[in-house]
Amino acid sequence: MKKRILPILTLIAALTIGVNQYLLTTVSHALGVKSELAPLLRFVNAGNARGGTLEDIVWSKGMPFYGQELAVTYDDVIGSLTKLAALDPTYGSQKIILTDEQKTRYVKIGMTHKMTCEFCCGATTLVFANGEAACGCQHSQAMRGILAYMIQKYPQKSDDEMMREVARWKALFFPNQMMARAQEQLASGTYTPDFAALVLGLDEKTLKKLGAQGAVTAPSSIPQPEMVGGC
C-alpha cells in the first residue's frame, strides 16, 4: 500500500506545481501586465525574494496593458517602433488628433527635459511649446505616438504614469545608453525624469537593492532647466 501511495503523492505534487505555474502565467497575460509582475510571479512560484534586477527595471518585457489594442509588445522593439511612430500627431501616417485640452497636457508632458531621443538627435524635449515635434526621428515619433495615445485613451492615468510608459520605450530604443544612465544616476543620487519614471512606484528597499544613493522623486517633480536663448 505504501509503495502505491508514494508515486501518487509525487504525481499530485508535480501536477500542483504545473497548474500553479500555468495559472500565474495565464493571469499575468490576461491582465496585460506581464512585464511588471514577472519578478513577483517568479517570487511566488519559487519561494524566493523578489529579485528585480536593474535589467528588469530598465528593459521591460512582455506586453503592456494596451498591447493588444495596438498590436505592440516590449519583446518586438522594431515592429512596435513602427506602429507607435504611425500615431505621432505631427508625422504619423495614422496621426492622433488631440483636443485643445488634451494638447495642453501633451505639451506639458512632452516638454519634460530628457523625456526624448537626445541620444540620437540631441533634442532635449519631444515637442516645442506650440506642440510641434522637436525632432523628426522615428524614436521621437514613437514616443510622441504613445504619449498622445495614452492621453486620448487613458486620460485617468497620471502624468507620471504616462512618462513611465514613454520612458519604457525610450529604454528599449536606447538600451545601452539608458542602462549606463541608470547606473550613473543610482551611484550619484541625482536623477533625470526618464530614469525616475522607470523606477516609479518602487519601494525604498527595492531601490536600495538596485544601489540607489538617494531618494528618487516622481519625474514630474524634478526641476526643469530654464530655457536658454531665443527663437
- Write the DSSP string, 21-83: HHHHHHHHHHHT-HHHHHHHHHHHHHTPPP---HHHHHS--S--TTHHHHT--TT-HHHHHHH
Q: Judge if 44 and 102 occupy the same domain.
A: no
- Which residue among 27, 46, 62 closes a domain? 62
Q: Judge if 126 and 86 occupy the same domain.
A: yes
Q: Judge if 55 and 69 occupy the same domain.
A: no
Q: Judge if 115 and 130 occupy the same domain.
A: yes
Q: Is residue 220 part of a domain?
A: no
Q: Is residue 108 part of a domain?
A: yes
Which pLDDT value is given to residue 226? 58
DSSP conformation class of 220: G
Q: Judge if 3 and 106 occupy the same domain.
A: no
Q: Nearest 5°: CA angle at 24, between 11 and 203?
A: 130
Q: Is residue 231 part of a domain?
A: no
SS3 127: strand
Which pLDDT value is given to residue 199? 96
Strand partners, 127: 133
- Please give the Cα distance from 48 to 151 (Å, whole number): 38
Number of structural domains (the chain) is 2
Q: Judge if 88 and 11 occupy the same domain.
A: no
pLDDT tens across the length of the chain (231 residues): 444 444 444 444 444 434 344 433 443 344 343 344 333 333 333 222 334 799 999 999 999 999 999 999 999 999 999 999 999 999 999 999 999 999 999 999 999 999 999 999 899 999 999 999 999 999 999 999 999 999 999 999 999 999 999 999 999 999 999 999 999 999 999 999 999 999 999 998 999 999 998 889 999 999 887 544 333
Provide the residue range defining the domain that includes 52.
1-62
90 contacts: CB under 8 Å, gap ≥ 6: 132, 133, 136, 141, 144
Q: Judge if 198 and 89 occupy the same domain.
A: yes
- Residue 231's CB is within 10 A of a number of other CB atoms, namely 5
Q: Is residue 36 part of a domain?
A: yes
What are the grid coordinates assigned to 78, written together? 522594431
Rg of the chain over all Cα atoms, to the nearest angstrom: 21
The sign of the dihedral angle between the CA atoms of 135, 141, 147, 148 is positive
Say if CB 113 and CB 225 are below 8 A apart.
yes
Which pLDDT value is given to residue 162? 98
Q: Judge if 42 and 72 occupy the same domain.
A: no
DSSP conformation class of 219: G
Q: b or e along 47-59 (b: 16 or more beta carbons within 10 Å of the residue's beta carbon)?
A: eeeeebebebbbb
Q: Is residue 166 part of a domain?
A: yes
CA nearest to 73, candidates 59, 52, 53, 91: 59
